[in-house]
Amino acid sequence: MNVSGPYEVPVPSEHPNNDLLADLAAEVLPDDLAGHVQAHVMECSRCAALLADAESVRAMLLQIEPEQMPAEVLTRLERAFQIARREDEAAAAAGDGSETRVLGRLSLGTDAGRTDPGRRIARSGNVAGAGRIVPSAGLTGSIAAGGAKTGRLSRMSAPAQSARRQAIEEQKADKPSRLAKFAPALKIAAGVLVVVGVGATLVQVRDGLGGQSEDSAASGVSAAANAPIIAPVQSTKTDYAKKSLPTQVKTLITSSQKLLAESPPEQPKVEAQDSDETARASSPKASGSAFARESSDPTVQGQLLRSPEALRACLVAIGAEQVQPLAVDLARYAGREAAVIVLPGDGGGYDVWVVARDCRADSDGAIDFVHVKS
């Protein structure tokens, strides 16, 4: 038997301490000591009452219904699994460096096949950020940067976002959308556009292969933020309104999650099936990929944010370059064209940015910001 702590034989005139009483109840005391304590309890209503109360604690705890895992936590986990698999696949394809990265994350052994996370991993410390959904945890991005961060996803860019939020409260009354000023300053570089199902585009940037593009540098997109954005960019044609935004946003997130779950993590296919452009795609003249069509003129029908570079630039503009969007919808807001970007909120819930569809690094075209409770 291995019980903790040395025991002090109780002085007959005093109560045994609580640990002794507890260990008596657990039947882990040595026999002679148990006899002493038992004899005391038989004579002491106070100690007997304490033990009775302790026993009732178990009954009380057993009656507590277990909390169910919130849906958003499960979604987050599944996204993390998806990203981890992609990372590992990319790492395996990349060769030797990947092995080092995975092992470094776990800090265990020298062979990934023999690492057991069930063993004590607490001392490694660097497992904290493993797989957390941050931009730096990209296909070939620096895992060290992501892994070193132990803060919450939603708080990583909190200062920048907060400042921007404050600014928007001051500006939005007199700051019109910059749709008219739009200029196609960004072009899609080193990008793969995946159209998934009807009305959604899964944007994924393969970075690290050719370095940061000139365009991304010019648009103020930092290398640190140069990682895949996995949120599907949808065009639901919803007309969002402030009053109904919580419901609408949750519907959008559900739709986004469904699309993401259905999207194959492997080789992306380039296929035009956008609801805004279904007519064009089905016309005899519609040929080539959505990528080619949109990169030739990304301003068509306000579809700029389908470009991964443009979306990233927009995230920079709203101070969310370190945050992975949960959903993006090129839709309408209060009757006007807008892009709705849903981010994980500080302390739970969702931060919803409504911006002009030409949102870009130097001009977010912010229309509104709303925090929606989950």
Partner 1 sequence: MNDDGEPDDRRLLADHLAGNPDAFTTLVRRHRDRLWAVALRTTGDPEDAADALQDALISALRGAAGYRGDAAVTTWLHRVVINASLDRIRRRQARPAVPLDGHELQSRTDDHAATVTRLDIRAALARLPEPQRVALILVDLEDMSVAETAQILEVPEGTVKSRCSRARTAMAVMLRDVGTSRPVEGGNRTDTQHVQAGESLTRRPGSGEGW
- By CB under 8 A, the residues from 161 to 200 that bind partner 1 are none
200 within 8 A of 263, measured Cβ to Cβ: no
Determine which residue in the list 9, 35, 85, 288 makes contact with partner 1, applying CB under 8 A: 85
CA distance 276 to 317: 26
Residue 323 C-beta: closest distance to partner 1, Å: 15
42 lies in the site for partner 1, by CB under 8 A? no
**Candidate ranges 122-130, 230-238, 242-250, 301-309; the one touching partner 1 (CB under 8 A):** 122-130
107 lies in the site for partner 1, by CB under 8 A? no
97 lies in the site for partner 1, by CB under 8 A? no
> Under the phi-then-psi rule, with left for phi > 0, alpha for psi from -120 to 50, and beta for the rest, what region is 65?
beta
DSSP 9: P
Determine which residue in the list 97, 113, 210, 284 makes contact with partner 1, applying CB under 8 A: 113
Q: Per the structure block, which two tokens stand in for 1?
A: 């038997």
| Binding pattern for the stretch 6-35 against partner 1, x by CB under 8 A and - elsewhere | --------xx-xxx-xxx-xxxx-------
- By CB under 8 A, the residues from 265 to 284 that bind partner 1 are 265
74 lies in the site for partner 1, by CB under 8 A? yes
**87: Cβ contacts below 8 Å, ≥ 6 apart:** 131, 137, 138, 139, 143
120 lies in the site for partner 1, by CB under 8 A? yes
- By CB under 8 A, the residues from 316 to 355 that bind partner 1 are 347-348
104 lies in the site for partner 1, by CB under 8 A? no
Which amino acid is located at 133 in the chain?
I
Strands 200-205 and 191-195: antiparallel
105 lies in the site for partner 1, by CB under 8 A? yes
- By CB under 8 A, the residues from 46 to 65 that bind partner 1 are 46-47, 49-51, 53-58, 60-62, 64
Residue 153 C-beta: closest distance to partner 1, Å: 8
289 within 8 A of 201, measured Cβ to Cβ: no
Query: Token pair 């920048």 is at which residue?
Result: 160
- By CB under 8 A, the residues from 129 to 148 that bind partner 1 are 129-132
